[in-house]
Amino acid sequence: MGLCGTDQDKERLIKRLGRIEGQVRGLCAMVEQDRDCIDVLRQINSVSGALRGVWIQVIGDHLKGCIAKAALEHDEELIDELMEHLQKIR
């Protein structure tokens, strides 16, 4: 089973993940350069926020696609799987 979104959504995800990858490389460079802790923490927060944005996009697509279809077909397996995943989030 693939991602629920359109090809346009997939391209957008790939671009966002590429930017996040760059942020993580920048974060690594900051650590290597022995930058101030607060600067590193700010960058970590930025990366975390960017990943949360990707998570929101993917889960939204999943809800609108796979979960909506499963609900119409009275297939509770995907819904249970999502619920299990959401319970693990901290």
Q: Is residue 27 part of a domain?
A: yes
In a domain, 54, yes or no: yes
Residue 65 domain flag? yes
Q: Is 35 helix (H, G, I), strand (E, B) or coil?
A: coil
14-42: string of b/e by CB count within 10 Å (b at 16+)?
eeeeeebeebeeebeebeeeeeeeeeeee
The answer, yes or no, to whether residue 33 has pLDDT greater than 60, is yes
Question: Quick check: is 2 in a domain?
Answer: no
**Structural domain contains residue 50:** yes
Q: What is the pLDDT of residues 17-31, one digit of tens each?
A: 999 999 999 999 999
Range of the domain at 81: 7-87
**Where residue 29 sits, what CATH number does that domain have?**
1.20.58.1000
Q: What is the mean pLDDT of residues 21-47?
A: 97
- Inside any domain, residue 63: yes
Query: 78, 51 in Cβ contact below 8 A?
Result: no
HSE-CB for 19 with a 13 A CA cutoff: 14
* Inter-residue contact 21 to 8 (CB < 8 Å): no
Domain count, the chain: 1
Global confidence as pTM: 0.81
In a domain, 1, yes or no: no
Positive/negative CA dihedral, 83, 85, 2, 7: positive
